[in-house]
Amino acid sequence: MHRRAALQTDPRGRTYKGDITELERWDGFSPNAGDVILATPAKSGTTWAQSMIAMLLQGTCDLPDKLGVVSPWIDANFQPASETRAQLSQQTGRRVIKTHTPLDGWPVWSDVHLVVVFRHPLEVFLSSRKHLTNMRQVTSHPMLEGLDTALAYFFDTDFSEDEVDRDTLATIIRHFEAATSDRWPDKLMLNYASMSRDHAGTLAAPDEHLETGAAPELLAQVQRATEFSTMKSRASEFAPEAANEVWHKNEAFFAGGRSGAAEAAFSDTQLARYKARFAELLPDVRHRRWIETGLGHV
């Protein structure tokens, strides 16, 4: 089935780079009308949202290949760019493309949907520490040091366009600033806390926004298929870059999945540092509340 190509309406706004991210990989990408770009800070619920969207677009919970093949991370250097393009070009239906680049780092296309996901920054911090421990190519990192040292890195490292892959509080804020701009009008903003509180309601949002027209039976099936325990039991299919052997253990990627308990892991002094830095980077208390809880509006 031939699908109409999407029209580019706005070129890339900023140039980012990192140890993993290579923005030139976007240059060979030709989206079609109806495609979806999933753009999130790392460790924010990407894989969860990605799985839901892929199943809704495919119309089935039985994806034709591993999630990372069906929905590749377009600007990551884990595999040759030609392989990523081939994975996308072989698909005849609507596609969901993953990126951890702020949305002003790639063009805007008409008739292409955008979904973004955010998560409580302290949950991102804890998740990042676990994931770095599980990554084959990582032997040392500031986030793997003692808690206070790791927190200092996470809180105090300023954002740099040349180090977009740093998992820091400032990186999360750069993503949020880009996501809440008027650059991409057709976007759906999801929050990990809301997703955790109301899994079924979360599914209804992309179903409506992306106009997938999923039947109630499919929505119920997708909900069951994307429960945390189910995805962990199928980690070889759902863990990011599982096909590229990024992890020591794929199932360790699904280490926790809980939301709402992160602050209990920190002292009062550490929490005070976090709140002060968060307020410095993002003065609007309504925005901070939404990122942490999914409550209110942005």
Half-sphere exposure of 226 (CA within 13 A, CB side): 29
122 occurs within a structural domain: yes
Tell me which residue range forms the domain holding 237: 8-293
The pLDDT value given to residue 11: 86
The pLDDT value given to residue 202: 87
CATH number reported for the structural domain that contains residue 24 in this entry: 3.40.50.300
What separation in angstroms does the CA of 229 have from each of 45, 46, 50, 82, 152? Answer: 15, 16, 16, 34, 33
The pLDDT value given to residue 251: 55
223 occurs within a structural domain: yes
The pLDDT value given to residue 248: 55
215 and 97 Cβ atoms separated by less than 8 Å:
no
250 occurs within a structural domain: yes
Token pair belonging to 190: 């999801």
298 occurs within a structural domain: no
How many domains are there within the chain?
Answer: 1
Residues comprising the chain, all counted: 298
Write b or e for each residue in 92-118: b if 16 or more Cβ atoms lie within 10 A of its Cβ, otherwise e: eebbbbbbbbbbbbbbbbeebbbbbbb
List, in sequence order, the alpha helices (H) in the chain. 46-58, 67-70, 81-89, 121-134, 147-156, 169-179, 192-197, 199-209, 216-225, 228-233, 235-238, 268-281, 285-293
271 occurs within a structural domain: yes
Strands 187-191 and 96-99: unpaired
3 occurs within a structural domain: no
Q: How many CB atoms lie within 10 A of CB 43?
A: 23
pLDDT in tens, the chain (298 residues): 557 778 888 888 899 999 999 999 999 899 999 999 999 999 999 999 999 999 999 999 999 999 999 999 999 999 999 999 999 999 999 999 999 999 999 999 999 999 999 999 999 999 988 877 766 666 668 888 999 999 999 999 999 999 999 999 999 999 999 999 999 888 999 999 999 999 988 899 999 999 999 999 999 999 999 998 888 877 778 777 656 566 555 554 556 656 667 888 999 999 999 999 999 999 999 999 999 999 998 8
203 occurs within a structural domain: yes
Distance between CA 147 and CA 126 in Å, rounded? 10
The pLDDT value given to residue 4: 79
210 occurs within a structural domain: yes
